[in-house]
Amino acid sequence: MQGYDLIGDVHGCGATLVALLEKMGYREEQGVYRHPQRKVIFLGDLIDRGPRIRLAVQTARRMVDAGEAYIVMGNHEYNALAYCHPAPEGSGRRWLREHSPRHNRIIQDTLDQYRDHTNEWEDTLAWFKRIPLYLEFEHFRVVHACWDDALIEALAQRLPDACMDDDFLIESTRSNTQAFHIVDRLTRGTHIPLPKGVEIHSGDGFTRKSFRAHFWCEQPLVWGDVVFQPDNLPGDLEARPLADNERQRLSYYAPDQPPLFIGHYWCEGIPALPASNIACLDYSAVKYGRLVAYRWSGETCLNADSFTWIKVAREELPQVSGWDLDQD
């Protein structure tokens, strides 16, 4: 083993994923992409929005099942589990995740692409439940959105393999529970609400009333110290002082902690390191950005030269390298 190739949010760009694997020297053998000296770690969010969701899931899953890759859960896999899981009797709702217009829109592309493959979708949901919420290796760590030591310790005490069971999944959909706080922080990070009446009209078509905050500033003073998203804050809000309750909500990942790999944050442009020991690998692939990988080979100080990527084309080809989507 020479190292690991960590791949950011695919979001259904399955053909681009295959192209990225091949660019990094992986070759398809009996339905599984393999490298003679390296393995892949997927950062989650394989599904939703993109044109080749089933290809993305099947490519990743076959690698994971064959021992050629690892994966952590993204918020979109978690959302799919809650969306498709019936709520407990007497809860006053039908599903764990409400089938609201917003939630319907987020998952619609996935459901459409699995519509004629219902057994495969049910099997895929069962696989999602076996995906851990984080991974900790000897010299580096992986989580979809945010590493929080206290919450990860609490999760490890409850679920040593970091994989959700039904009880944890059900509990995680109730906002006053420990399970909710664990899943929300690890897969979505921290959001800070905007002032009343202020909204962000995001490039993905959604209107947001909060912004995404990062977790590697030791003593943040203003909103601009922690905002981490492609959308700018309206007006002069970057200069707005952080309130005590807002600062208390933030996690902190110190520069002397092991290298950490995350996705989730819709970065744009040429991949860069937000901190010397943190790499974000989500570069808005499904918005015709880049599907990005970091080729880690044991270094404790990360290097931007280790990024590699494929720019996502406007239309992914219907077939890639002879891959048969429905092969056994």
What local confidence, expressed as pLDDT, does residue 203 receive?
A: 67
Q: Please give the structure tokens belonging to residue 44.
A: 């989650």
Please answer whether residues 24 and 308 qualify as being in contact, where contact means their C-beta atoms are separated by less than 8 angstroms.
yes
Render 126-184 in DSSP notation, one character per residue: HHHTTS-SEEE-SS-EEESS---HHHHHHHHHH-TT----HHHHHHHTSTTSHHHHHHH
pTM for this model (two decimals): 0.93
Q: Is pLDDT at 308 greater than 80 in this prediction? A: yes
Residues near 35 by beta carbon (within 8 Å), at least 6 away in sequence:
5, 24, 25, 26, 27, 68
Query: Which tokens in the block code for residue 237?
Result: 């809000």
The tokens describing 258, both together, are 């092991």
Question: In angstroms, rounded to a whole number, what is the distance separating the alpha carbons of residues 48 and 197?
Answer: 29
Q: What was the pLDDT predicted at 57? A: 98
Q: Which amino acid is at 40?
A: V
In whole angstroms, give the CA distance from residue 283 to residue 261. Answer: 13
DSSP code string of 195-251: PTT--EE-TTS-EESEEEE-S--SS--BGGGTB-SSSPPSTTGGGSBPPHHHHHH--
Query: What pLDDT sits at residue 99?
Result: 97
Question: What would the pLDDT profile of 279-305 be if each residue is shown by its tens digit?
Answer: 999 999 999 999 999 999 999 999 999
**Per-residue pLDDT at 315:** 61
Q: What is the pLDDT of residues 157-167, one digit of tens each?
A: 999 999 999 99
Decide if pLDDT at 325 tops 60.
no
The CB density around residue 3, as the number of other CB atoms within 10 Å, is 17
| pLDDT over 90 (residue 205) | no
Q: How far apart are CA 223 and CA 316, in angstroms?
A: 38
pLDDT of res. 321: 38
Across all residues in the chain, what is the average pLDDT? 93
pLDDT at 275 over 70: yes
∠ at Cα 137 (132, 143), nearest 5°? 45
* Distance in angstroms (rounded) separating the CA atoms of residues 13 and 167: 32
Q: How far is Cα 100 from Cα 108, in angstroms, rounded to an integer? A: 12
Contact 34, 68 (CB under 8 A): yes
Which residues lie closer than 8 Å to 29 by C-beta, 6 or more apart?
none
DSSP secondary structure string for all residues of 27-91: EEETTEEE-SSEEEEE-S--SSSSS-HHHHHHHHHHHHHTTSEEE---HHHHHHHHHHSBPPTTS
What DSSP character marks residue 286? G
Nearest to 266 by CA among 180, 208, 225: 208
Work out the widest C-alpha separation in the chain, in whole angstroms: 56
Q: Cα–Cα distance between 127 and 176 in angstroms, integer?
A: 27
Phi and psi angles of residue 307, each rounded to the nearest 5 degrees, phi first: -75, 145
Rg (CA), the chain: 19
Task: Give the C-alpha separation, 4 to 12, whole Å.
Answer: 22
Residue 126: predicted pLDDT: 98
pLDDT recorded at residue 201: 82
Structure tokens at 32: 């599984």
**Cα–chain center distance at 276:** 21
